[in-house]
Structure formats: structure tokens, C-alpha cells
Amino acid sequence: MNVCVNLEKSEIEGLESVAEGRASAVSAPVTSRLLDMGLIQPCDENGHGMKTLQLTPKGLSFIRSSDQ
């Protein structure tokens, strides 16, 4: 999958945080923008009342392409 997305530094950091399982560290505005771009999606509640997000295939492609 070829992903062409321009992200701000805060959005890249937010995407990395979600990839590392630290979704609660991502601010609400950044979360909203990443959701709108289709890079992350909400998960089922984990039972602890914490924000749970995961990368979409598009978000995962972005992370992989930025590692190269």
C-alpha cells in the first residue's frame, strides 16, 4: 500500500505513541486528526477506562515507510 500523507511533528509523535501502545499520551486534537485521516481507529474498551486506539493498515504503512 502506497501512503502519501503529510503529517505535522505532533501527529507523527501521536501515531508513534499509538503504535507503542501509549494512546493515552496522545492529545485529543491530535487523536481527532489521526482518526479523520484514517490512520488510527478506536478499539474495544479494555475495561480500565483508558483510551484504546490502534493503527489502521494505512497508519501501519506510514509507520513502516518512515522507518526506512
| Predicted confidence pLDDT, tens digits, the chain (68 residues) | 444 668 999 999 999 999 999 999 999 999 999 999 999 999 876 566 666 899 999 999 988 876 65
Beta bridge partners of 55: 40
Full-model pTM: 0.81
Distance CA 60, CA 66 (A): 10
Domain contains 67: no
Domain contains 3: no
* SS3 assignment, position 58: helix
Q: Would you state the cell numbers that stand for residue 21, as one nine-digit string?
A: 501502545
Distance CA 17, CA 12 (A): 9
Domain contains 37: yes
The residue range of the domain holding 16 is 9-60
Domain contains 36: yes
Domain count, the chain: 1
